[in-house]
Amino acid sequence: MKKYKNIIKVAIDSPAAAGAGTQAKLISKHYNLFYLDTGKIYRLIANIKIKNPLQYNYKLIQKRISKLTMGDLNNKGLLSDEVGTMASIISKDIKIRKLVHAFQIRCAYHPPKKYNGSCLDGRDIVTKIVPDADFKFFITANTKTRALRRYKELKGLKKIISFEDVLKSIKNRDKSDYNRKISPLKKTKDSVLINTTKHTKRSCFLKIKKIMDKKINA
Ligand code: C5P
């Protein structure tokens, strides 16, 4: 595996189901970067709230986050629309955001030694978590395309849900994520816009790779 002189930090922000996770995984694999899907952390907290509404409190979440492993984030139960919707509610809470902040910083700036760096995706990665990232991307796609992709993904997981409900939920999440007071989703001036609506996964990745290779090999 190729080694680079300095650690490479990639930061990606995107609205729901825009293809950021797919691109982040491709980037991480290609450059051997440690990948963190930060949405999964908010989903994990949301799942605790859904499953144990009466026990849910900051102390419990703090304890849970202090023991968080990557394996915890692979739970397929976190992928449901119900969990995603709850994640966009609990993620507006500044105390919750503060509890997960340190974990994300550690992953971004101190990835395990075997990696060449890190790649994080979420809503506030460029603006709050890794503002000095070497590469900053804002990945998006039109609302219907994103809803269709999420609908197919949920169908693949055998979830019973209609396209209309997925579309409604994507629109609600966008409204919440773009307009919230704390860490709203926004594209910074120095982020490269990647619109995946009319492009294949491969062609989007090649565009990103071209940008990254140019700087890495300069
Ligand atoms: O990316 P994903 O759809 O899994 O994220 C679920 C929710 O978690 C988002 O709609 C958003 O409200 C919240 N989130 C966030 N900040 C991040 C990642 C996700 O607020 N960095």
87 lines ligand 1 (CB under 6 A): yes
Per-position pLDDT tens, the chain of length 218: 667 777 899 999 999 999 999 999 999 999 999 999 999 999 999 999 999 999 999 999 999 999 999 999 999 999 999 999 999 999 999 999 999 999 999 999 999 999 999 999 999 999 999 999 999 999 999 999 999 999 999 999 898 999 999 999 999 999 999 999 999 999 999 999 999 999 999 999 999 999 999 999 88
- Could you tell me if residue 181 is inside a domain? yes
Position 100 scores a pLDDT of 97
38 lines ligand 1 (CB under 6 A): yes
- Could you tell me if residue 213 is inside a domain? no
- Could you tell me if residue 218 is inside a domain? no
- Could you tell me if residue 167 is inside a domain? yes
- Which residues have CB under 8 Å from 143's CB, separation 6+? 167, 170, 171, 174
Full residue range of the structural domain in which residue 165 is found: 8-208
- Could you tell me if residue 81 is inside a domain? yes
39 touches 150 (CB < 8 A): no
Position 193 scores a pLDDT of 98
123 lines ligand 1 (CB under 6 A): yes
- Which residues have CB under 8 Å from 111's CB, separation 6+? 7, 33, 34, 117, 118
Q: Which CATH number goes with the domain that contains 124?
A: 3.40.50.300
Instruction: Quote the DSSP letter at residue 192.
Output: E
CA of 37 to the centre of ligand 1 (A): 9
Q: What is the pLDDT of residues 162-195, one digit of tens each?
A: 999 999 999 999 999 999 999 999 999 999 999 9
- Could you tell me if residue 154 is inside a domain? yes
Position 162 scores a pLDDT of 95
Domains contained in the chain, number: 1
